[in-house]
Amino acid sequence: MSSLLKDAENRMKKSVEKIVEEYGQMRTGRPSPALLESVKVDYYGVPTPINQLATITVTEDRTLIIKPWDKTVLSQIEKAIFASKLDLTPMNDGVNIKLSFPTPTTEQRDKWVKIARENAEKGKIAVRNIRRDVIKEARDLQKASEMTEDDLKKFEEDIQELTNKYVLEMDKAFEKKSKEIMEF
């Protein structure tokens, strides 16, 4: 029974971590090198993250500067950014690629908060699905006389506590991200 609970907790924790990771790669008004983590460049036939091909820095004027170690990869980085869903226009000066982040409009911020809310909701659904699956497993064990009815009741209470804990973590992650988006 405790192994079922431990497995469920690990899976729920991974669901929260995935949402937090997605939030890190989500565009807000503020430039961040994490935005480019999901962008892969075709580097000699191998999809390679930009941060493995270049130095990425943030300047004071809301710009990301990508300085590749190998100048021949500039055009591939530019193509990968255009192809991404980031909706950014790279400016290639022959040495660096610059990505400017204009101050977002209220409509853009509202759209980003809506996307963040949808991601949080997907994460909550994943956590609840884990709860459902694990409770079904426990009920099957109880039917097979490998668990008492009292143990099942206790298990259901424990799994509900875990579910509430991780749903609350999703809510906190969403609140943090929406606050970050609206901070302009």
Q: Which of 71, 100, 129 is the last residue of a domain?
A: 100
Q: Which of 100, 128, 157 is the last residue of a domain?
A: 100
pLDDT at 70 over 70: yes
Task: Kindly calculate the radius of gyration of the chain based on its CA atoms and give it in whole angstroms.
Answer: 22
Q: Are residues 38 and 14 in the same domain?
A: no
End-to-end CA distance of the chain: 49
Q: What is the pTM of this model?
A: 0.73
Q: What pLDDT was estimated at residue 27?
A: 67
Q: Are residues 178 and 112 in the same domain?
A: yes
Q: Are residues 114 and 165 in the same domain?
A: yes
DSSP element (H, E) containing 23: helix 2-25
pLDDT in tens, 21-42: 888 777 676 787 877 888 888 8
Number of domains in the chain: 2
Q: How far is CA 50 from CA 33, 35, 64, 168, in A?
A: 10, 10, 12, 34
Q: Are residues 20 and 63 in the same domain?
A: no
Q: Which residues constitute the domain of residue 39?
A: 33-100
Q: Are residues 13 and 45 in the same domain?
A: no
For the chain, give the mean pLDDT. 88
pLDDT at 67 over 90: yes
CA distance 43 to 82: 16
Q: Are residues 154 and 176 in the same domain?
A: yes
pLDDT in tens, 127-150: 999 999 999 999 998 898 888 899
